[in-house]
A and B are shown apart, each in its own frame.
Chain A
């Protein structure tokens, strides 16, 4: 007779389901995930995996890790990144090496695919978590990622 066991299992599983949703309901005060955006603009932190825009982190000596290898420029499917570079003589070895003059990033063209960040061999660029990127003027969306006067971090080299 599976009839009675069906009834038992039915009631049991229904109650299990209700206990699950009930737990969510009665703990709802603590774990509400809705962000009331314009109100908490100052305190809102986006989660780590959020793709806001591409940035180039600099350390306290105003040094970045970009060697100017242009792999990000090649990886970008829609020409978002332009690198203006130069060749200078390395003081230690006397060889000519590439240095970046400007790492130009057009936020208006970026689709946030992240291929440039995956392509970068020296982890020079990464995602930032800022989210409110709209502006009234589109020239503001063309950004130079390396700060003025910045240099490459000593020891960071292109893999030949």
Chain B
């Protein structure tokens, strides 16, 4: 009875039986790339739908509910509309960089997606510096934003892009340090290893109790800031900057920025899930015998955290630039540094809660 247990391994073996090793490897890579691209598009559209629907409920509205059952196909219709729209050519823009910018953003979030473990099996790229890679890659996206803002030759876009640079430089620190707190507990940067530790001793948010919870709060705040979402949406700040860095973008290029923003939110939520809520592990190991259900648990936890970020968005007003920097440098950073020491002491004295 191990029929559905190893789909990826079966496909892998079947491919290598069918053709010679190098070709099979290339085909495998292409298959995985297509799968991730498909996931990127689908998840992005679904998240946009979810955001609009949840925003509506927060404001006692209904939200999109006409296209398809419960309006599920609304975002697909929107995407089709965006594909069919004209790509406006800006006269005095730096054409090369202007066209390059959306791809930077997309590639960065796709690369970050590749190391996420959807379940024990669906894990495309399990490197020994997984978390570090995630951190490094997820901050490449800001280059796309900076390029887009600079190359569109527009004041608002430039101000938005510069704000984004400032924001990412400051909040990257907090994300990194709060992840480091958990790495202290896990003793490894490899994602499969981190989850294996949690499988033995319980999720890190319980295992690391107080410091882990503080780290989680800081991670959620800094992660929201990293994705440039409200209340940290100074980058786009509709009321001040038009649309910020993507003011001059139209049609599909705009859609790339838009989708990438939502995928980044998904990635931040996924990192939070892996580090604090045990990734694809089921609560109390209730479905440990069916590894495929890991996908479901992973997605459930991620969507829970995404919902939390949406809750932030529809509750808090936008910060001013100076408030943003005060929050980071005067509050989050010192708390974070103290928290790392706290966590180190707890790990050293063995005060973690282990089941």
- A47 on interface, CB distance cutoff 8 Å: no
- A6→B335 CA distance, assembly (Å): 13
User: For window 1-39 of chain A, which residues contact chain B by CB distance below 8 Å?
Assistant: 6-7, 10, 14, 17-18, 20-22, 24-25, 28, 31-34, 36
Complex interface: chain B residues within 8 A of A17 (CB)? 315-316
Partner of B58, one of A6, A28, A34, A36: A28
Q: Which of B60, B311, B316 contacts A32 (CB 8 A)?
A: B60
Assembly CA distance A10 to B62 (angstroms): 32
- Known A-B contacts A25-B54, A25-B57, A28-B57; the reply to A36 vs B315 at CB < 8 A is no
Contacts of A6 in B (CB 8 A): 331
B61 within 8 A of A: yes
In the complex with contacts A14-B316, A17-B316, A22-B60 CB distance below 8 A: no
B61 adjacent to A7 (CB under 8 Å)? no
What DSSP secondary structure best describes chain A's contact surface?
Answer: helix
A22 to B57, CA, bound (A): 10
- A33 neighbours in B (Cβ, 8 Å): 60-61
B311 touching A21, Cβ below 8 Å: yes
The residues in B between 71 and 116 inclusive whose CB is less than 8 angstroms from any CB of A are none
CA distance A115 to B203 in the complex (A): 68
How far does the Cβ of A5 sit from chain B's closest Cβ, in whole Å? Answer: 13
Which residues of chain B have C-beta atoms less than 8 A from A21's C-beta? 58, 311, 314-315
Contacts of B61 in A (CB 8 A): 32-34
Q: What is the bound-complex CA distance between A135 and B331, given in angstroms?
A: 63
Of residues 90 to 126 in A, which have CB atoms within 8 Å of B's CB atoms? none
When the two chains form their complex, are residues B314 and A31 in contact, meaning their CB atoms are under 8 A apart? no
Contact between A18 and B62, CB atoms less than 8 A apart: no
Note all chain A residues with C-beta closer than 8 A to B58.
21, 24-25, 28
Interface residues of B in 293-322 (CB under 8 A from A): 311-312, 314-316
Q: Interface size of A by Cβ–Cβ distance < 8 Å?
A: 17
Number of A-B residue pairs, CB cutoff 8 Å, is: 37
- B residues within 8 A CB of A7? 331, 335
For chain B, give the interface size range.
Answer: 10 to 19
A19 CB → nearest B CB, Å: 9
Q: How far is the CA of A90 from the CA of B59 in the complex (A)?
A: 60
Select the residue from A20, A31, A32 with max chain B CB neighbours within 10 A. Answer: A32
In the assembled complex, the Cα of A36 lies from the Cα of B124 at a distance in Å of 45
Min Cβ gap B333→A in Å is: 13
Please measure, in the bound complex, the distance between the C-alpha atom of A21 and the C-alpha atom of B54, giving whole angstroms: 11
**What residues on A are CB-neighbors of B59 within 8 Å?**
24
Contact of B62 among A24, A25, A36 (CB under 8 A): A36
Q: Residue of A at shortest CB range from B334?
A: A3
A64-102 CB contacts (< 8 Å) to partner B: none
Which residues from chain B contact A28 at a C-beta distance below 8 Å? 57-58, 60
A17 to B314, CA, bound (A): 10
Minimum C-beta distance from B203 to chain A (A)? 22
Instruction: Tell me how far the C-beta of A139 lies from the nearest C-beta in chain B, rounded to whole angstroms.
Output: 36
Contact with A along B40-80 (1 / 0, CB 8 A): 00000000000000100111111000000000000000000
Asked whether A25 and B316 contact (CB < 8 A) given A7-B331, A31-B60, A34-B62, the answer is: no
CB contacts (< 8 Å) of B57 on chain A: these are: 24-25, 28
Which residues in A have their C-beta under 8 angstroms from that of B312?
A: 18
- Hey, which chain B residues are within 8 Å of A36, CB to CB? 62
Interface string of B271-310 (1 = CB under 8 A from A): 0000000000000000000000000000000000000000
Distance, CA A7 to CA B334, complexed state (A): 12
Residues of B within 8 A of A22 (CB): 311
CB distance from A33 to the nearest CB of B (A): 5
Q: Are A24 and B60 in contact, with the CB atoms below 8 A?
A: yes
Q: With A21-B314, A33-B61, A34-B62 given, can you name 19 additional A-B contacts, CB distance below 8 Å? A: A6-B331, A14-B316, A18-B311, A18-B312, A20-B315, A21-B58, A21-B311, A22-B311, A24-B57, A24-B59, A24-B60, A25-B57, A28-B57, A28-B58, A31-B60, A32-B60, A32-B62, A33-B60, A34-B61
Measured CB to CB, the residues of B under 8 A from A are: 54, 57-62, 311-312, 314-316, 331, 335
11 contacts between A and B (CB under 8 A): A7-B335, A10-B331, A17-B316, A18-B312, A20-B315, A21-B315, A24-B57, A24-B59, A28-B57, A32-B60, A32-B61
10 smallest CB-CB distances across A and B, nearest first, come from A28-B57, A21-B315, A34-B62, A17-B315, A34-B61, A25-B58, A33-B60, A18-B315, A25-B57, A31-B60
